[in-house]
Amino acid sequence: MYELSDDQVEYILNNIEKRGVTTEDVRDNILDHVCCIIENEFTVGKDFYKAYEDTIARFYTKELSEIERETENLLTFKYYYAMKRTLKITGLISVILIVLGAIFKVMHWPGAGVMYVSGFAIFCLLFIPLNIVLQYRDDKKKTDKLVMILGLLLVIAGTFGLLFKVMHWPGASFLFFGSLGLFGLVFIPLYFFTRYRNPDTRFNAIIHSTFMMVAASILFALIDLRPTYPVKQSVESLNEYQEANILRIKASNTLLSSELDNAKDLKEASAKIDGRITDIRTNLISKSNAQHNTNKRSSSLKDTRNPDDVRVIVEYFQVSKDEFSYSALENEIDQYNTIIGQLKDSISLRAIDISNLQMKNTVISVVLLELIDIQLQIAMNENSYLSVLRGLQEH
């Protein structure tokens, strides 16, 4: 019986490694097996290297690393079905969560954010990576694999962009338009040309590329629904007109009331609600600007960093109960309406009604414009009341 020395065992181990077997377990198995064969099947005196070469040749047809590849294949094949099953389940769960999240979001029910974020997370972090792995196994050609992986990575980035956009998180536009641009301008042409060359995939290449191009263009057109620049400008100048009008009416009111002393109640009530509304505006703008890392305090729409901010309205203004919230505004208006109701002058005074105004679930610029409108209405009430009083006095 052959005895192997430590050096010879070492030599075999190194040789196995050199032949491309990298997994420790596989290496150990081959090593022991080779040693057993040499020890049991060769007679003492035979050249060790010759014996080793003869033995190792029994392990493969072309090269030794076949064993390792075969092992990997068997192992991944086992996961293949588990992965396909996971793919189906995660696909279904993310679709349900995203659809429910969308419905909840539109209805402004609580929980929309949680569903959206978890749905998108499952979609991006499980469903698409699994797709990448399976695609990698299924695609035969290396370029096809790389192109598909690029596409799926762009889908992940784009989906995150969409999620950021919906959740009003920063960086959304960069992520979304960046990946959408790359998808349309790099991935789709690559996909088309790599698959068009192959007659087997030519027809699918045309159909899929067309679908993807149309979908990408529609997404691109749909997502950017912000007002165009001229609209934004006219909204701002409208706001400035209103502010100027309020100032002029207030100046006229000061003149009128200096001649009349029996309008004290209305004057006080007007000043109180006017001050409160200005405070609400300032508070909304500074809260919204704080989300965008700006600390500017102002009551003017043009100083709002993001006039399309919905978050400050949905998450703060319409739900809070503090002194600058929607409910505080309603209270203030009720008090004001009670006071002008007591004045019993139905010709010049008009109660303020905000029930038909869109002050919830909307962008901050709309709320700011409406608040200014209410202030204008208050100033007008005072002005016409004072004018009527003055007219009566002159008669």
Closest approach, Cβ 139 to another protein, in A, equals 23
Number of residues that bind another protein (CB under 8 A): 28
Q: Which of 46, 50, 78, 264 binds another protein (CB under 8 A)?
A: 78
Closest approach, Cβ 171 to another protein, in A, equals 41
Residues in the chain: 395
Q: Per the structure block, which two tokens stand in for 261?
A: 């002393």
* Contacts to another protein from residues 13-72, by CB under 8 A: 13, 25-26, 28-33, 35-37, 40, 58-61, 66-67, 70-71
Residues contacting 216, CB < 8 A, separation 6+: 180, 183, 184, 188
Q: Looking at residue 272, what DSSP letter applies? A: H
Say whether residue 1 binds another protein (CB under 8 A): no
Considering the complex, state which of residue 26 and residue 180 has its C-beta at the smaller distance from another protein.
Answer: 26
Residue reference for tokens 């996971």: 86
The gap from C-alpha 275 to its chain's centroid, in whole angstroms, comes to 38
Closest approach, Cβ 84 to another protein, in A, equals 17
Considering the complex, state which of residue 21 and residue 152 has its C-beta at the smaller distance from another protein.
Answer: 21
Q: Give the C-alpha separation, 329 to 354, whole Å.
A: 10
DSSP string computed for 279-338: HHHHHHHHHHHHHTT-----S-GGG-S-TT--HIIIIIITT--STTSHHHHHHHHHHHHH
Considering the complex, state which of residue 40 and residue 355 has its C-beta at the smaller distance from another protein.
Answer: 40
Q: Per the structure block, which two tokens stand in for 148?
A: 């598909």
Which has the closest alpha carbon to 156: 110, 120, 200? 120
Q: Which of 10, 47, 138, 224 binds another protein (CB under 8 A)?
A: 10
Burial letters 155-168, b for 16+ CB under 10 A, else e: bbbbbbbbbbbbeb
Long-range (24+ apart) CB contacts under 8 A made by 290-295 are 292/170
Closest approach, Cβ 19 to another protein, in A, equals 13
Considering the complex, state which of residue 33 and residue 305 has its C-beta at the smaller distance from another protein.
Answer: 33
Closest approach, Cβ 140 to another protein, in A, equals 22
Q: Give the C-alpha separation, 180 to 187, whole Å.
A: 10
Coil/strand/helix, residue 360: coil
Closest approach, Cβ 22 to another protein, in A, equals 14
Considering the complex, state which of residue 70 and residue 265 has its C-beta at the smaller distance from another protein.
Answer: 70
Closest approach, Cβ 81 to another protein, in A, equals 12
Q: Looking at residue 201, what DSSP letter applies? A: T
* Contacts to another protein from residues 218-247, by CB under 8 A: none
Closest approach, Cβ 63 to another protein, in A, equals 11
* Contacts to another protein from residues 112-131, by CB under 8 A: none
Binding site for another protein (CB under 8 A): 6, 9-10, 13, 25-26, 28-33, 35-37, 40, 58-61, 66-67, 70-71, 73-75, 78
